Amino acid sequence: MPHVPELRAGALRCLLETDPLIKTREVAALAQAFAAGAIALDSGTALQADGAIPGRPARPELVSPRLVGRRSMTSVEGRAMLAHALAHIEFNAVNLALDALWRFPGMPDAYYADWLQVSKEEAYHFTLLSDHLKTLGYAYGDFPGHDSLWEMVDKTKGDVLARMALVPRTLEARGLDAIPPLRAKLAQAGDMAAARILDIILRDEVGHVEIGNRWYGFLCAARGLPLRATYDDLVVRYKAPVLKGPFNLEARRRAGFTEEELARFA
C-alpha cells in the first residue's frame, strides 16, 4: 500500500522551511493536497521537530520593537517600512498557524483543518505584501523586524489552551483594532494598492480570531473552566501584554468575542 503523506508532519516541514517564497508555496500546496484527499490526518501522533523552529531567512534582522523605526506616510520609504512591518507580521502568522497545526495532538479533526486554512490565508497575505514591497523598490528583509508575536507562541507551546487564549484571541486580535487606522493613513497617502490589501487582511483576520475564540471556548468547556476567569489567569501567568484601546468592537463581535468581553473593552 503506498505511503500517504500526513498533514501535521507536512505542516512541520513547512514550518521548518527558511525561504519565505518556498514556505508560502508549500503551504498552498499542502492545503490543496489536503482538500483533494491526497493527505491523511493523524491527529493523535506526537511529532518531534528536526530543526530550528520557526524556519526563517537570515534577514530581516530581529531587534527590539522600539528599534524598528518610525514610518512616515509622506515618503515611499516610510510606506515601504510599514508594508515591511505588516509583511513581517504575516510571515510570523504563517509560522504560528503551522505551529498550532503540528504541535498539539489529540484535538478534533476540525481544529487541524481550521489552522491549515489560517496558514494558507496568512501565506497569501504575506505574498500580497511582499509583492507590494517590490513595487515600492524594496524586498522583505530590507528593514529590521521584531519578534514579539513569536515570543508568545514559544511561551505557550506546552498548552493548547494558553495558545488559543493568548495568540489568536489576544495578539492577533490587535490587528482588528490596528488595521482600520493604518488603512486610512495609506489611503490618505495615495497608496490604494496597500489599502486594498489591508481590506483583504482585515476580512480574513476576523475569521482567524474567531477560530481562536472558538477553540478557546471548546477547550474551556472540555476542561470545565470558566472562560473569563481562566483568560484573566492566563494573561497574568504568561505575562501577556495589557490591551489598550481604541478597540474595533464591531470586528471583535464578528470574531466571536462575547458581549461581556466587549463591555470590558468599551
pLDDT band at 1 (very low <50, low <70, confident <90, very high): very low
Once rounded to an integer, what is the mean pLDDT over residues 167-171? 95
Question: What whole-number percentage of the chain has pLDDT above 90?
Answer: 84
Once rounded to an integer, what is the mean pLDDT over residues 28-56? 93
- In tens, the pLDDT along 206-217 reads 999 999 999 999
> How far is residue 196 from each of residues 76, 128, 180, measured CA to CA in Å?
17, 10, 11
For residue 70, is pLDDT > 80?
no
Q: Are 155 and 164 in contact (CB under 8 A)?
A: no
pLDDT band at 65 (very low <50, low <70, confident <90, very high): confident
| Fold type of domain 7-43+51-265 | Ferritin (1.20.1260)
Confidence (pLDDT) at 148:
86
Confidence (pLDDT) at 2:
42
For residue 202, is pLDDT > 50?
yes
Domain boundaries, the chain: 7-43+51-265
- CA–CA gap between residue 105 and residue 6 (Å, rounded): 13
CA torsion sign for 12, 17, 22, 23 is: positive
What count of other Cβ atoms lies within 10 Å of the Cβ of residue 45? 12
Structure pTM? 0.95
Region of residue 138 (phi > 0: left; psi between -120 and 50: alpha; otherwise: beta): beta
> How far is residue 66 from each of residues 174, 175, 191, measured CA to CA in Å?
18, 18, 25
Q: Report the chain's mean pLDDT, rounded to a whole number.
A: 94
> How far is residue 111 from each of residues 4, 15, 115, 130, 236, measured CA to CA in Å?
20, 18, 6, 28, 26
- Bridge partners of 6, per DSSP, are 40
Once rounded to an integer, what is the mean pLDDT over residues 20-24? 97
Least confident of 63-77, 115-129, 217-231, 242-256: 63-77
Confidence (pLDDT) at 69:
67
**b/e burial code for range 171-193 (CB count within 10 A of at least 16 → b):** bbbbbbbbbbebbebbeebebee
Confidence (pLDDT) at 131:
98
Confidence (pLDDT) at 4:
58
For residue 53, is pLDDT > 80?
yes
By C-alpha distance, which of 143, 128, 136, 131 is closest to 79?
A: 136
pLDDT band at 102 (very low <50, low <70, confident <90, very high): very high
